[in-house]
Structure 1
Amino acid sequence: MSATTSQTRRLAFAPNWAMRAALLVLAAYTIWASSRLGLTWDRVAHGMGEGGRLLARMVPPNFERWQLLLEGMLESLQIAVLASAIGILISLPLGVLAARNLSPIWVAGPVRAVIAVCRSLHYVIVAILFVKAIGFGALAGTAALVVASVGFIAKLFAEAIEEISMKQVEAIRATGANVMKVLAYAVVPQVSSRFIGFCLYQLDSNLRNSTLVGIVGAGGIGGTLFAAFKRFDYDFVAAILLAIIALIFLAEIISGRVRAALR
């Protein structure tokens, strides 16, 4: 009996040598990569000191140019809202076409490829391409965030539709209803709450992203922030950063209230 108990304990707590070997390889690769990239404690310590001096130059924040700050924030807000609205409108039909339980594979496959292409490039890279194509300004930023929104929202829409119960779809189809009625009465009621959550999340994401695309000339507060950094105007930089943080917090509060009201 004791021998069996001892064997059971050994089996229950048997070491996972494959996992240990994988962790050892990961640790060795991390050390090697750090040495190749020049990541040393001396550089980290030096960077901490420089960071402290930078933060000291940001205090106190300078809100004297509040009109310029407000103009950039409003432009970023407009870019985010417009890009989210257009991206969601485009993503709705794409999500339906990409759902493999509603569309044949010869339709869902190419649509999923389009969505993957929209998702494959970072929105800053897309913003640079649009700046080069259509020039500086909010139009380039809006177009870049529309592409990013389609890549994210359409994929989530398609996955949510693929998880619905097909019994309701088949019941509505059995009545002779057309495609639009099937979507309205069998698909949308099952995924509407998730769709709303996805849309609110994308709006939050675009609010953050709209402040970054301006750095490459695609409009918004990012351009003002980049210009302040180039002028070494760090107290104004602090004011811009605080305004961005306040905007994101406000958007989070509003989206939370909307989610709670729709539950």
Structure 2
Amino acid sequence: MSASGPAAAPARRPFAPSWGFRLGALALLAYTAYAVPQLGLSLERLSVGFGEAGHFLARMLPPNFARWRLLVEGLLESLQIAVLASAIGIVLSLPLGVLAARNLAPWWIAAPVRGLIALCRSLHYVIVAILFVKAIGFGALAGVAALVVASIGFIAKLFAEALEEISMKPVEAVRAAGAGTLAVLIYAVLPQVASRFVGFCLYQLDSNLRNSTLVGIVGAGGIGGTLFAAFKRFDYDFVSAILIAIIAVILLAELVSGRVRAALR
């Protein structure tokens, strides 16, 4: 032992090689070599695809905005679907998130509620939209229902996780003052997660604006139906106009939600 104290431990090399990592990387390379020919992936197909993509993009230019009324009607319907689905999903997710939080609800309530939330997240929203189209028919109602399910699966899960991270001291203090369950939620729980919950809601609204386009492709209303019909007619210049309009709406929504998040910080 030196005069300055005990000998320091040798510094550990960052990203030190290990046999486990080497074997995992070797297994990944072997599986890639096996899977590529099984899936028919080849540079020849990729080069042909790039050539066809060039011809396809050439047919999309210049964009044709002559049928702007049809375009605006589809965008407005998609916007209505997204806003309604987000609003309904948020209202339903708030109590579900509280019931799913294991520090606020007993296990025999939290467990089945978490199972319901997991069920909402287990299927892609396009598959859910197809199921609703088959059940209640074509139109915006199927799209709203599908995006409500998707919203619950996202917002309720994140809200429950945020509630499980809160400090229980304010909750215990309000309970000690004799407050009921509703008062505890309003005065001790929600103030700790309000800003995060608003952020979750804004993100889901952005997501539903994008998702409303996809659910429309399977017949659940919105601009997606107009886009799919234009593809089937090989009306690619109108397809280009629709895509430009969708991108513009998404960017505008992202700008607005970013300003709202900044104002809430």
Tell me which interval the TM-score lies in, with the shorter structure as reference length.
over 0.9
Matches within 5 A, 1:11-22: 12=13, 15-22=17-24
Aligned to 1:76: 78
SS at 1:176's partner residue?
A: coil
Aligned to 1:161: 163
**Cα distance, 1:164 vs structure 2:** 0.1
Aligned to 2:183: 181
Q: Does 1:143 align with 2:142?
A: no
**Cα distance, 1:21 vs structure 2:** 1.1
**Cα distance, 1:76 vs structure 2:** 0.2
1:107 equivalent among 109, 117, 123:
109
Q: What do the CA deviations read for 1:6-45 (whole angstroms, capped 9, x no partner)?
A: xx58x74753111011011112112211110000000000
1:53 equivalent among 39, 52, 55:
55
1:134 equivalent among 133, 136, 151:
136
**Cα distance, 1:149 vs structure 2:** 0.3
Tell me the TM-score normalized by structure 1: 0.95
**Cα distance, 1:167 vs structure 2:** 0.4
Considering only aligned residues, what root-mean-square deviation do their CA atoms show, in Å? 1.3
Q: Does 1:250 align with 2:222?
A: no
Matches within 5 A, 1:188-227: 188-227=190-229
Counterpart residue identity of residue 241, structure 2: A
Question: Greater helix share, 1 or 2?
Answer: 1
Aligned to 1:239: 241
Work out the CA distance in 1 between the residues paired with 2:23 and 2:63: 51
Counterpart residue identity of residue 129, structure 1: L
Work out the CA distance in 1 between the residues paired with 2:117 and 2:54: 43
Tell me, which stretches of 5 or more residues in structure 2 are unaligned? 1-9
Aligned to 1:5: none
Work out the CA distance in 2 between the residues paired with 1:110 and 1:21: 40
Q: What do the CA deviations read for 1:83-135 (whole angstroms, capped 9, x no partner)?
A: 00000000000000000000000000000000000000000000000000000
Give the number of aligned pairs: 256
Work out the CA distance in 2 between the residues paired with 1:69 and 1:84: 23
Tell me the TM-score normalized by structure 2: 0.95
Counterpart residue identity of residue 244, structure 1: I
Counterpart residue identity of residue 20, structure 2: A
Which deviates the most, 25-34 or 128-137?
A: 25-34
Sequence identity, in percent?
A: 76
Aligned to 1:39: 41
